[in-house]
Amino acid sequence: MTTITITGKQPGKTDVTISSTVNPAVKTVVPVTVLSRNLLSYGPASGNGLTATVNSDGSLHVKGTASSQWAGIRWTFPCPVHGAVTLSRPTSIDGLTVSVKCIDAKGGQLGAQINTGNAGTVPAGTVSLRFEILANEATPTEKNGDLRVQLESGDTAHDWMKPDNTSLGGGAMS
């Protein structure tokens, strides 16, 4: 018996053809989808004085002046993974912070929020994640810049990659 390992190089869909020339000849086509390691989902959002749009590379462009400290925008999406995760931010905007919160079936937060720079845990019972971009300045100032944020399984941050879903609508967070 021979084992063959196939590693996806970039997100997308393709087919893998498996065939045998021995008698009887066999041929099977298996559809394969390679997903992004970036587990976040986001898209255009506006609220509390901030507006986010999605750049052509999948990063977020954030502009505006938040209405107050700890106000901003958020996206909530189904939880794709449980266990150890890492939130990284290879590009940032001074005065804004990013985090992910784990949400249970009743809408309550489970465990501590996941911040950049440290591995975190998505606990059992988490049904959705809430990605937030908040102003951390006591008196928010105008913003106009790009963010690349990545949530991935494990405790090691890798190079940023566009999430699979960049069309999820977001809204105000205060």
HEC sequence for 118-146: CEEEECCCCCEEEEEEEECCCCCCCEEEE
Q: What does the buried/exposed string (b/e) look like for 63-100 if buried means 16 or more CB atoms within 10 Å of the residue's CB?
A: ebbbeeebbbbbbbbebbeeeebbbbbeeebebbbbbb
Q: How far is CA 65 from CA 97, 136, 139, in A?
A: 14, 12, 10
Entry field: residues in the chain: 174
Instruction: Quote the pTM value.
Output: 0.84
Cα 159 to chain centroid distance, Å, stands at 13
Q: Quickly tell me which residue has 């086509």 as its tokens.
A: 29
Please indicate whether residue 31 or residue 41 has the higher confidence score (pLDDT): 41
> For 65-102, what is each residue's pLDDT tens digit?
999 999 999 999 999 999 999 999 999 999 999 999 99
> For 141-168, what is each residue's pLDDT tens digit?
999 999 999 999 999 999 999 999 999 9
Q: What does the buried/exposed string (b/e) look like for 22-48 if buried means 16 or more CB atoms within 10 Å of the residue's CB?
A: eeeeeeeeeeeeeebbbbbbbbbbebb
**Cα(126)–Cα(113) distance, rounded to whole angstroms?**
12
Strand partners, 143: 64
Report the amino acid identity of residue 150: Q
